[in-house]
Amino acid sequence: MLLPQVLDVLGLRDDDTQGGGGGVSGGKIVVDCTLGLGGHSAAMLERLGEGGMLIGIDLDGANLALARARLKHVRTRATFQLFQTNFAGIENVLAKAGVALGSVDGVLADVGIASTQIDDPARGFSYRRPGPLDMRMDPTRGQPASALLQRMSEREIADALLELGDETDAPQIARLIVQRRAAAPIETTQDLMAIVCEARDFTIARAAGAKLHPAARTFQALRILVNRELANLDRLLTVLPSVLKPGGIAAIISFHSGEDRRVKYAFRDGFRDGVYSAENRDPIVADEFEREDNPRARSAKLRWAKRA
């Protein structure tokens, strides 16, 4: 997602790359807070020169294993270390990696969801695939979405759908969820999808052909809630200045208005207070070719800030 733009922002440009896996940025330390399948990390690692280090973080152990295999085949003289944890704990990760605070050249966070998570029915992220209503990025921790829906009040559900999913029909959806769970637990993605469609007056067939599926915002909101994504992002934004070296760059890709607002205000306020020496007032978005090739890129926004 936005790979050329990310490399440009972090000073790892394609036109600077030298042959032989030598890289162009010897000694640089870069942290990929959302490793995923390693797409961003592989491109960054390839461009890091001798003495450089890539640190990758991901909550999902399955993604971590796939990314590790991918990074092992990158031609580079830099090193990498991977950690299964939440990026909110980036300070602890750096300590384990032997990297001092205030010495990182670049931090990237792509706060979306990996395609492997969406495509695996057993993970319960997608309204298009039957499976258990789970949605945890780390299936060994926390409560699945089904458990949260079972215990939350109607008001709490409605507030979450509105705040985290921008769902204008949140009251109707929350009301029907509470009514239906009284008869039987909502345990599968198809259970929830059918409830949302009914609450929004969509047939299943009509929903399948909609440009934006009527359950999309509800599933997004629940995923963010289950994984405490906004709280974790807030923590990352708070500690970034202590992580970066002077002149270091933080780059964050967001997909949801609530996420983007947090990043925008944190970077803007940091610039105003002299913590950052520069930031992009307008977000960087995908070009027409990437939007056509990857529909998820249409909502991606990249913001960056440079440590003063």
Q: By C-alpha distance, which of 92, 103, 110, 13 is closest to 51?
A: 103
Candidates 189, 188, 193; CA nearest to 205 is 193
Torsion angle, CA of 154/126/135/215, rounded to 10 degrees?
-20
For residues 123 and 93, give the distance between their C-alpha atoms in angstroms, rounded to a whole number: 26
- 220 sits in which H/E element: helix 216-226
Q: Which residues pair with 276 in a beta bridge?
A: 307
Structure tokens that stand for 220 in this block: 């997004």
State the DSSP code for 9. H
Distance CA 48, CA 77 (A): 7
Supply the pLDDT for residue 76: 93
* pLDDT tens by residue, the chain, 308 residues: 999 999 999 999 754 444 344 555 668 999 999 999 999 999 999 999 899 999 999 999 999 999 999 999 999 999 999 999 999 999 999 999 999 999 999 999 999 888 888 889 999 999 998 999 999 999 999 999 999 999 999 999 999 999 999 999 999 999 999 999 999 999 999 999 999 999 999 999 999 999 899 999 999 999 999 999 999 999 999 999 999 999 999 999 999 889 999 999 999 999 999 999 999 999 999 999 999 998 888 899 999 999 99
Burial 4-34 (b: 16+ CB within 10 A, else e): ebbbbbbbbeeeebeeebbbbbeebbbbbbb
Determine the angle formed by the axes of helices 229-243 and 90-97, rounding to 10 degrees. Answer: 50
